[in-house]
């Protein structure tokens, strides 16, 4: 298995990519299911163009893999590398969020 690489160079697709990885963390989903799942989770729409640009990058970097299509819909699932990268990124976000909340709490005390 490849080592997680924090420098994935996802550019402006870093945020949608993270949302997709989170969406796939509880099991494989096809494109439309990912879109609706992200919208339900964040309250913000994920456009189909953005979705597939991010999917292509994630697949190219080995973070997700395509499964056999069911009719015309192809499900994707997280790879071991993808799970590892996601875990690393979420831990980093969690640490950052805690720092922000701590500072915010100190200011309003």
Q: What own/partner pairs with CB < 8 Å and gap ≥ 24 does 32-39 have? A: 32/73, 33/75, 34/76
Q: Does residue 62 bind another protein (CB under 8 A)?
A: no
Q: Which of the residues 70 through 109 are near another protein (CB under 8 A)?
A: 71-74
Site string for another protein, 5-44 (x = CB under 8 A): -------------------------xxx--x---------
Which residues are paired to 77 by β-bridges? 65
What span, in angstroms and rounded, lies between the C-alpha atoms of 37 and 45? 10
- Selected from 3, 7, 49, 107, the binder of another protein by CB under 8 A is 49
Which residues are paired to 70 by β-bridges? 73
Tokens of 81: 């590398």
Report, in Å, the least distance between residue 85 CB and another protein.
20
Residues of the shown chain interacting with another protein in the complex, contacts defined by CB under 8 A: 30-32, 35, 45, 47-53, 55-56, 69, 71-74
């Amino acid at each position: 298995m490849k080592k997680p690489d924090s420098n994935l160079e996802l550019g402006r697709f870093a945020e949608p990519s993270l949302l997709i990885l989170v969406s796939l963390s509880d099991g494989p989903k096809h494109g439309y299911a990912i879109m609706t799942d992200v919208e339900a989770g964040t309250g913000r729409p994920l456009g189909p163009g953005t979705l597939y640009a991010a999917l292509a990058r994630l697949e190219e970097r080995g973070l997700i893999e395509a499964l056999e299509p069911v009719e015309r819909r192809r499900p994707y699932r997280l790879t071991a590398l993808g799970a590892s990268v996601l875990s690393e990124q979420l831990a980093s976000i969690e640490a950052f969020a805690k720092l922000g909340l701590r500072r915010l709490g100190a200011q309003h005390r």
